[in-house]
Chain A
Amino acid sequence: VKFESIQPVTWPVRLARMQGSSAALVGLGVLMPLLAASQPVQPIRALSALSVLMFLPGIAVARLLRLGDPILFLAVAPSVSLALTVLTSTGLMYAGVWSWQLTLALLGAVTAAVAAVTRPADGQA
C-alpha cells in the first residue's frame, strides 16, 4: 500500500499542477479586484475594473465549456461576465449589502474558483 497516494492534495500543489492559463486566471481573479479597489489612476482603474466586470469570469466559464469555436468563445465570454455582474450586483442589492468592491471581489472569486476546477483538457479551447 502506498500511503502517499491518499495524502490530501494541498492548494499549492493543485496550483502547481494547474495549466498555465488557469493559474493566470486564478491570479488575475485575485489581483484585479484588489487593484481596482485600491482606486489607482486612470486608465489603470478602469481597465482593472472592466477586466473583472466584463471578461475574467466569462473567460473562465468559456474555457470550462471547451467551446471549440473562437468566435463562440469571444461572444460567450463577455456575455457570461456581464450576466454574472448583473446577478451578483442585483443579489447584493436585494440583500441590502451592495458595494462595488464586494461585487468585484465576488466576481474575482468566481473567476478563480472556475479556473481552479477547470481540468487541463477543459482549458483547450
Chain B
Amino acid sequence: MTQFAPRYMADVSVKVLPRPGVNLGIGALGLLCGGLAVWSAAGVIPTEIGDGGLAPVLPAGFWVAVVGLNFAFVLSLGRSTPSWLPPTLVAGLVALLYAPASVVGEAPRVAVSWRHLGIADDMANGVFDPRIDAYFNWPGFFPGLATLIQATGIPPPQVAAWAPVFNLALWSLGVAAALRTLTRDKDAILMPLWLFLIGNWIDQDYLSPQALGFLVLLAILALVLSVLGAAVEGGAPGLRSFWRTGTRVPEHADGRQRRLTLLVVVVLSVALVSSHQLTPVVLAMSLVGLVVVRRSWAPLLPVILGLLLVLWMLYPASTYLVGHPMFGRDEAGVVQANLTGRVAGSPGHLAVLGVRMGLTIGVWLLAAVGVVQSWRAGRRDLRPYVLAIVPFLAVPVLNYGGEMLLRVTLFSLPFVAFFAARPLAGLRPRWRRTAGGLTRPSTTRTLVLTLLLSVLCAASVTAKYGNARFDVFTKDEVTAAGALGDLAPAGSVLVAGAASTPWASQDYSRYTRRTLQSLCAVDFAPASCVRTLQDLAGREASAGGITLLLTRGNQASLEVQGQMSDEDFAGFEARIRGLPGTRLLLVNRDARIYHLSPGTAPARSHL
C-alpha cells in the first residue's frame, strides 16, 4: 500500500491532551453502556412485546445506555486517541445494537436460522441432493456450519443465538479494513463504521449464507482496494477525462505479493460463489466499477468471478435454475415487490415500517450531502462513489423474491455511510485548552451530536427489532415445533400458521412444509382458508393428511401484517377443530398441533 486518498475530514485528528484517565473513563463508559443495554434487554418478556416491536418495551436502562455510549463516542472524536479506544467503543455499540437479538426471548430469534440449522443437520447426515431446493444448489455455507457445530460441540441453538454478534464483530473489521484503504483519518473511518452499525437494520446478520457472503465480500473489496489497487499518476482527475489522463500504476509494488493476493481472492471468490446466489453478482459489478474508474490492478478479476458464476450455474446449480431464473424482474414488478408490497399491516407495524424507511432515507440523504461536500472539496477518488452506487444497479436486473432493495442497501451501506459521516463530522466537538494546559470539548457540539446519534440508534433498534412480536420465540413454541416431526404421521404435509415458526431444525428434507401465510395469500377469510387446507389434504397429503401447527407467533405475524385478525384466527381454528376426523395432538401455553385426516377434503361437484 503505497498511496492513499487524501483525508476526507482534513481537520479531524487534532493532537490534544485530555485529563489523565479520560480515555480510560470513556472506554469504560462505552463497555459499561454496552453491558447495561444487554442486561436491560435480557429482562424483556417475549409475550409482552406488541406490534411496535421490541423498542417500546425496552426498560429505561437500555435508553440510558444508548445516550451514554453515544456520549462516550462523541468524546473520542475530533482528537487523537489511543489505538485501543475506537475498537472498545465499537464493541460497546455491537453489544448494544446486536446482542439483544441473542438475549431477548427464550430461544434464537428469526425462523430462517432454525431452518439453516436443519439444512446443516441434513447435510451432516448425508442428504446432499440438489433437487431439494436452492440451498442444496448453493450449499457451501451449510457443510461449514455442520463442521462448526459438530467439531465445537456447541449446542446448535446457541450457535444461532450468538451469530449476529459474532457476524457484526467480523463485519466491523471488514468495513474498517475497506475504509482504511480510502483514508487513514481516524474519524473518517470511525464515524462511517458507527453509522454502518446504526444503519444496518436490515437483519441479514443472523446465521445465514448472506452473513458469511457479506464478510467475504468485504474482505475481497479490502484486498482489491489495497494490495490489488491501482492509482492514476500524472493526470488531472475529473469526471470527463478520468479514463484517459495520467498513467495507471499499481498501489502495491511487489508483484509476487500481488499474485499471491490474487490467488487468495480467487479462493475467496470460489467460496462465495458456492455459498450464495446474489453476493458474487453484486461483487462482480462492484469490481467492474473499480476497473472502469481505473483503480484496480486486477482487471481480469471480474472476468474470473463471472466465469466462476457461470460454471457454478451450469453444473452444481443447474438443477435449481431450471424453472427458477436468477436474472430478470420479479413478476410483481420491481417497485411492488421491493417496496409497496411490503408496506401493510397493523398501525404499530406501519409505524415500524415508517421508521425503517425514514432511517434508510435519512442515511441516504446525509450521504447525498456528503457526496456534494466531497465533490466540492475536490475529492476525486471515484472508488467510494462507485462502491456506494453500483450495487443499486442490480435491483432491476436480479430476481430475488422482492428482497433486492434490502440486500443492495446492505451491500452499499459501508460506502454510503462513508459519505453520510461527512456532514456529521462538522458537529464533532472542538477541543480547547484550558488555563491548566488540559483540553475540554465544546459543550454544545458534544450534546447535539450525542443527541442526534442517540436518536439514530433508537430508530435503528425500532427498525431492526420491529418484528419482535412474532420473530422472538418462547420455549413452548420451540417445544411444539420440535415435536411436530414426531407427531406427524408418515406422508403428512406439515403446515404452520406463518413463516415465523422455529421449525425445520431437524428432518429438513423429510417433510413438505407449507404455511397458511402462503397457502391462503389469495383470501385470508377463515372459511376460505379452511377450504384451502381441505383441498391440500385431498390433493397433496392423501397419504398422511395435514399436521397443522398454530403458535402464538403465527397468530401475531398474521395479525401484525394485516392478514388475519385475532378474531379471524380464532374463527379459523374453531372451524379446523370442527372438521370431521381432526385430532388435537399437542397443546401447551403457546402452541397447538392438529392432525387433519385426508378425508376432510370437501366434496367436489362434477359438472
Contacts and interface: CB of A to CB of B under 8 A. Distances in A.
Given A69-B177, A89-B146, A100 B151 contact: yes
Contact of A72 (B177, B260, B274, B275): B177
A93 B219 contact: no
Given A53-B151, A82-B215, A75 B173 contact: yes
A86 B170 contact: no
Interface string B130-154: 0000000001110110111011111
Nearest to B184: A69
Interface in A71-90: 71-72, 74-76, 78-80, 82-87, 89-90
Contact of B176 (A61, A71, A85, A89): A71
B173 A86 contact: no
A75 B144 contact: no
A104 B254 CA distance: 33
Contacts of B586: none
A36 interface: yes
Contacts of A82: 144, 212, 215-216, 271
Nearest to A91: B143
Contact of B139 (A39, A42, A71, A90): A90
Given A78-B170, A86-B271, A46 B177 contact: no
B224 to A, nearest CB: 12
A49 interface: yes
A80 B226 contact: no
A103 B147 contact: yes
Given A67-B227, A76-B222, A100 B257 contact: no
Nearest to B257: A66
Contacts of B146: 89, 98, 100
A90 B267 contact: no
B128 A94 contact: yes
B140 A80 contact: no
B268 A71 contact: no
A53 B147 contact: yes
B317 to A, nearest CB: 13
Contact of B216 (A42, A79, A104): A79
Interface in A37-83: 39, 42, 45-46, 49-50, 52-53, 61, 64-69, 71-72, 74-76, 78-80, 82-83
A28 to B, nearest CB: 15
Interface string B1-14: 10000000000000
A87 B270 contact: yes
A92 interface: yes
A42 B152 CA distance: 9
Contact of B151 (A69, A72, A79, A103): A103
Given A42-B153, A75-B218, A87-B274, A98 B177 contact: no
B261 interface: yes
Contacts of A83: 216, 267-268, 270-272
Given A79-B268, A90-B274, A71 B173 contact: yes
B264 A61 contact: yes
A79 B219 contact: yes
B410 interface: no
B126 to A, nearest CB: 8
Given A71-B176, A76-B223, A49 B271 contact: no
Q: Is the interface of B mostly helix, strand, loop or mixed?
A: helix
A78 B174 CA distance: 10
Contacts of B58: none
B123 interface: yes
Contacts of A69: 1, 177, 180, 226
B177 A71 contact: yes
Interface in B252-295: 254, 257, 260-261, 264, 267-268, 270-272, 274-275
Nearest to B174: A75
A49 B140 CA distance: 19
Nearest to B172: A75
Nearest to B169: A78
A24 B563 CA distance: 60
B152 A46 contact: yes
B227 A90 contact: no
A82 B123 CA distance: 18
Contacts of B271: 82-84, 86-87
Contacts of B148: 49-50, 53, 85
Given A49-B152, A67-B227, A79 B170 contact: yes
Contact of B140 (A39, A53, A65, A86): A86
Contacts of A45: 152-153
B508 to A, nearest CB: 15
A87 B140 contact: yes
A100 B274 contact: no
A17 B141 CA distance: 38
A34 B272 CA distance: 28
Contact of B152 (A50, A61, A65, A96): A50
Contacts of B144: 53, 82, 85-86, 89-90
A72 B216 contact: no
A92 B139 CA distance: 12
Given A49-B152, A87-B274, A76 B143 contact: no
Interface string B192-224: 000000000000000000001001101100110
B1 A68 contact: yes
A98 to B, nearest CB: 6
A80 B153 contact: no
25 contacts: A45-B152, A49-B151, A49-B153, A50-B152, A53-B148, A53-B151, A61-B264, A66-B254, A67-B227, A71-B177, A76-B219, A76-B222, A76-B264, A79-B170, A79-B215, A79-B216, A79-B219, A80-B267, A82-B215, A83-B272, A86-B141, A93-B139, A98-B143, A100-B150, A100-B151
Given A61-B264, A85-B144, 8 more contacts: A36-B151, A39-B153, A49-B152, A49-B153, A65-B261, A69-B1, A71-B173, A104-B151
Interface of B: 1, 123-124, 128, 139-141, 143-144, 146-148, 150-154, 170, 173-174, 176-177, 180-181, 212, 215-216, 218-219, 222-223, 226-227, 254, 257, 260-261, 264, 267-268, 270-272, 274-275
Interface of A: 36, 39, 42, 45-46, 49-50, 52-53, 61, 64-69, 71-72, 74-76, 78-80, 82-87, 89-90, 92-94, 96, 98, 100-101, 103-104
